[in-house]
Structure 1
């Protein structure tokens, strides 16, 4: 059975479609339940493909982030879980040689940093005081994931960029810069997030499958 035909990846795709439909219809709590199934299904697929443990950990932390963000007054806890996921993503790609490539071509890192600073500045005045210390740190982690993933693999790099955009929309909605309750906002956030974790996971698994086991940068 090929990786693409894995029942776990097929289930991820089906749940993603169902979730987006439920999200558009505003069907609660089914939309929350389907959302929390996404990352675990992808994590099981990665594990079944023999993917790196750090990628499974990152997806498990994404699940916790999704879960906590669905619970009232736990937004910061959800952010912390996603921050942990990005630490795992960054570590994963650094172990695969991202820093060496970035030293030779730092343009993407600079561009992402400029975008993140502009986004934080735009949001800043509308953020709740409790979020202000966390947002710059989290933005830096998003930039880290986007930058190091692109340095290692184009598909994963697109996933890292989409993660940055998805969470940027969340930040704008939290700051009142866009309508957080609009159907289009929720659909945009989740469509980008689903694509992000899918591309990150499949990019890493595909790359590792094509990389000889003796390559020094291949690590769990």
Structure 2
């Protein structure tokens, strides 16, 4: 069997089991499956020739996943720091390879305006209800997350852009819980659903774009090698 398909299937199975455990309220299963998700996705990305920055972003996400299993405030801040490091890796990745599928300047500007408005509105609404010691960290993290989501959409196209947007949705759901806003039924289910989809779409968007770039280069090398 193709190892990449095995790892992708294992990631998909872990995702389904994680969501089912959350829907059923079975925390021990969630603890195990949540810790498997990012390592499996990272291993799949490695076998597809992923840049180190992409793998690093996923592993920082794994660290954040583990830390957020705890409800303690220090663990929450440390988890946020891990995810922030992951977003920095994504930003560096998009900057390095972003010219492959860069959006037109007008569209990129429109996206930047939309994301800036979303950031400002979200932070302004959450600010009064957040614990005082978390306001600045949450605002700073939100700005970094928004920059990552914009860069994914502006430099890597629709699939990665959707991943970045879903990452914002997932973390906004977490922030509303911290602010003690009314929640959807089973809030952890929706947080993990959007988070899993976000990371998967970011990986697929990046890897597919890089594969499109490599294909013409490989074809050119093949032509050159067969030319007398």
**TM-score, normalisation: structure 1:** 0.90
CA contact (8 A) 2:102 2:157 kept: no
Pair 1:118-2:121 in alignment: yes
Alignment of 1:199-210 (within 5 A): 199-210=201-212
Q: CA RMSD in A?
A: 2.1
Query: Could you list the runs of 5+ residues in structure 1 that have no partner in the other structure?
Result: 216-220
Shift of 1:177: 1.5
Of structures 1 and 2, the one with the larger relative CO (CA 8 A, separation 6+) is 1
Q: 5+ residue gaps in structure 2?
A: 218-228
Cα gap change, 1:2/1:111 in structure 2, threshold over 3 Å: closer, same or farther? farther
Task: Please report how far the alpha carbon of residue 213 of structure 1 lies from its aligned counterpart in structure 2 after TM superposition.
Answer: 8.1
Distance 1:17 1:35 in 2: 11
The count of corresponding residues between Structure 1 and Structure 2 is: 212
Distance in 2, Cα, partners of 1:108 & 1:52: 26
In 1, Cα distance between the equivalents of 2:207 and 2:152? 13
CA contact (8 A) 1:90 1:148 kept: yes
Give the deviation of 1:153 after TM superposition: 2.1
Partner of 2:147: 144
Q: Secondary structure at the match of 1:133?
A: helix
* TM superposition shift of 1:214: 9.2
Q: CA deviation at 1:33?
A: 1.7
Q: 1:2 to 1:145 in 2, by over 3 A?
A: farther
Distance 1:178 1:51 in 2: 40
Aligned to 1:159: 163
Distance of 1:42 and 1:29 partners within structure 2:
21
Instruction: Name the CA distance, whole Å, in 2 between partners of 1:30 and 1:104.
Output: 47
CA distance in 2, matches of 1:72, 1:175: 14
Which residue pairs with 1:189 in the alignment? Answer: 191
Residues in 2 aligned to 1:45 and 1:76: alpha-carbon distance in whole angstroms: 29
